[in-house]
Amino acid sequence: MVYCFRISKGDGGSLQKLIGKHIRIRGIVQGVGFRPFIHRQIKAYDLKGWIRNTSFGAELVIEGTPENISSFVEELPVRKPPLAVIEKIHVSECEPCGFEDFRIIPSETGAEADTLVSPDICTCGDCLKELFDPKDRRYRYPFINCTNCGPRFTIIRNVPYDRKSTTMEPFAMCPECASEYRDIEDRRYHAQPDCCPECGPKLYWQEADGTRVYEEPVGAALAALRAGKIIAVKGLGGFHLACRADAPAFSHVLRERKKRDRRPFALMCADVSEVRKICLLSPEEERLITSPARPIVLLKKKEAASFSYISENDRIGIMLPYTPVHFMLLAEEIRTLVMTSANLSDRPIIYKNEEAAAGLAGICDGFLMHDREIETRCDDSVLWPADGGYFMRRSRGFAPYPITLTAPVPMILACGAEQKATFSLSKKEHVFPSQHIGDLKNIEAYENFREQIAHFEKLFSIRPERIVCDLHPDYLSSVYAAERSAAEGIPLVRVQHHHAHMVSCMADNDLTDPVIGIIWDGTGLGVDGTIWGGEFLAGDAAGYVRHGSIRPVRLPGGDRAVKEIWRTGVSLLADAFAENGDPAIPEQLIRRIAEDGNVPDQGPDTVRKMLAANVNCPASSGMGRLFDGVSAVLGILRLADYEGEGAILLEAAAEENRSLQYETAFYEDGDGIRRFDRRPMLREMASELLGGAAVSACAAKFMNTLTAAAAEQSIYIRKKTGLNEVVLSGGTFQNMYLLRSVTAVLAKDGFAVHHHHRVSTNDEGISLGQLMIAERQMRKN
């Protein structure tokens, strides 16, 4: 080892032995104030050398005394900036060169990208103070930001994260901004989106006729809102449609124009005090809603019937402002707004100005937009306030941050499913789940899916060695996988839907040994060609055994029964009383269904004829379909406006009573699958309903019975396999009543129970499981 010495400033000018260290830091360290932080630490420990951004994160060469370098390295993960994420620090020795100072040198280029990209971040407190300070040069400037906040993922085109690689490239910095950018003591040092009114993007108000107003655009937008109009607001990852939330009339107009009958809207409240006027808010929920990611959090209403024109169930999705424009809109007399994604008929969120002007014509009365391009669409994230945050949608504020694995994996592309589509790409020890794409049911969503795959592959320098997709060949994600596999000669792996769900939850919890998987959702193609969805599996990424399921229900009319859920209700009643019970009971309940205004005349009679002849009545063991049918039987909902509505309203209707349940029964079919027999439960439920039992009590007993069935099936599988770890996955476990009750009962029975916490439990999380199954096959081969 080569040593250098220097004369210390203290200790009478004694000689200090200097050593050199080469430090490589992997993680989110670009665009989050990491280099200014390093500079401060370097000064504090009297170190010399240099730092630069690299394709993997950041790289330093430093020299100083052994004691100071040791303290510097130890404090890196402890004192890092709040938005920086350090995943790995590699320190090696190097020869000291006698550096005279510490410098930031140009970013490394040409190497394979291996860096992480920061999600978009809510406007920080320091920027907010400046935003509303009349003496500040950025007073009411809608694009104020610094290294601690602002756009990241949605403006980045490539890495390393430099201004020329973002949509800020067209906006050359003025001398004052450039001075801040170069000053390592400044909060905006190397903040790539740094700008001001002199040099940055411009916000403007555009009338429906195309007229633009640059003078006080926020004032023009507020005037429109005060007048009860609907406006489009350009955010970080796309446009929102906004209107006042203080009276039903405004949201009714929005529903009518957007053709969104009952699907809940989200609200944006000015601050926590406004949230508390509407919803209950625990300290944990407050932590979630005020976090830098600023997700929509599904909160319990203070009054279940309140704001029914926003959300018909007992919860409302609420978020706080996260851009300067949002803060300015909500700074005056309007303190709460309806804020919903601007998209058309299940198409992706609109993110381009010209697309908004054309596509939203007739829906909104004006546009609050700007001239900075959005590179990547990104919807708002949605979380349940359970166990620190339970994803319903993982998107803005979280994407594209990866899932870190316990061991490296090859480069794999997993294409997900069809509903709530995402994809995942892997590289080394990281899996990069995409942001929310939406349902792959139209060409616009499919093109967005293809474009985002290409963007992620470029951003993270990934060249897939395998492509994996769902077993269902007609999903557009499967079509894409098959076509690309054939075109590029990349091996294709097809994975059963519920196996992928199980392994997704395993990977989410760093589990590798075999587990019991309780996988409940609406639909997924089984290996036998039938529709699965109420599954009890055992296995791991290498394979699984289907030990249990539920008795299939026939769906008269096929896919029509997913919306016209009264059809499933009639089917459940007909099956439950076909061989046992008083036949007068189902007749009375079916008559109630027939009298529902949403059910066509003679509809139930036609369905019964279809069932008797077994014409167009595919069978499904989907738990989601069982919830649909029971919701119809209980009179909660007969015609669904959106996927899962029946289940959501059933949960909302249930009383909090976990002590009572219906009978649980099981039988083994010809394939050795132990099935939960729902018929005794339906017979008992029907009798209670006709006897005057409360719907709230019946709904709770129904979910309690499913909980008991889950426990009995798990005990049965444990006896057969010796397995004691249980994972819960699938869209049905978005039901908080069921998630909590199943978890509690299984834990009481001695099981170790795991649910999702890094990806969504619905089909959005399925690509992670697909990827891990493909990785296991590659490793085996």
pLDDT tens column, 146-177: 988 999 999 999 987 889 999 999 999 999 99
Report residue 50 as tokens.
């240099």
> Distance (Å, rounded) from C-alpha 620 to C-alpha 306?
36
**Does 1 score more than 50 pLDDT?**
no
Query: How many CB atoms neighbour CB 492 within 10 A?
Result: 17
- In contact, 445 and 348? CB cutoff 8 Å: yes
Helix axis angle for 603-613 and 584-594, nearest 10°, is 130
| pLDDT computed for residue 12 by the predictor | 55
Kindly report which listed range (304-308, 470-474, 650-654) carries the lowest average pLDDT score. Answer: 304-308
For the cut 80, the answer to whether the pLDDT of residue 23 exceeds it is yes
Straight-line distance from the first to the last Cα atom of the chain, in angstroms, rounded to the nearest whole number: 45
What percentage of the chain exceeds 70 in pLDDT?
A: 97
Alpha carbons 445 and 421: distance in angstroms, whole number = 9
Those residues with Cβ within 8 angstroms of residue 571's Cβ, 6 or more apart along the chain or in another chain: 553, 554, 555, 556, 561, 607, 611, 617, 629
Q: Which two tokens stand for residue 58?
A: 């950041």
Instruction: Give residue 83's pLDDT.
Output: 78
**Distance from C-alpha of 570 to C-alpha of 574, rounded to nearest angstrom:** 6
Q: Are 210 and 307 in contact (CB under 8 A)?
A: no
Torsion of CA 494, 498, 504, 507, to 10 degrees: -90
Angle, in degrees to the nearest 10, between helices 679-690 and 566-576:
100
- Are the beta carbons of 406 and 510 closer than 8 angstroms? yes
Per-residue pLDDT, 166 = 96
> 237 with 396: CB under 8 angstroms?
yes
Please, which pLDDT band fits residue 629 given cuts at 50, 70 and 90?
A: very high
pLDDT-derived band at 31, boundaries 50, 70, 90? low
Q: Is the pLDDT of residue 7 over 80?
A: no
pTM flag (> 0.75): yes
Could you read off the pLDDT of 287-337 as tens digits, one per residue? Answer: 999 999 999 999 999 998 889 999 999 999 999 999 999 999 999 999 999
The alpha carbons of the chain give a radius of gyration, in whole angstroms, of 29
Q: What's the chain's average pLDDT? A: 94
Calculate mean pLDDT across residues 462-481: 98
Structure tokens at 63: 């020299």
2 has a pLDDT exceeding 60: no
Mean pLDDT to the nearest integer, 499-522? 97
Between 359 and 406, name the one with better pLDDT. Answer: 359
Q: What is the pLDDT of residue 9?
A: 56
Average pLDDT of the segment spanning 386-407 = 93
Residue 204, pLDDT > 80, answer yes
User: Residue 349: what pLDDT?
Assistant: 96
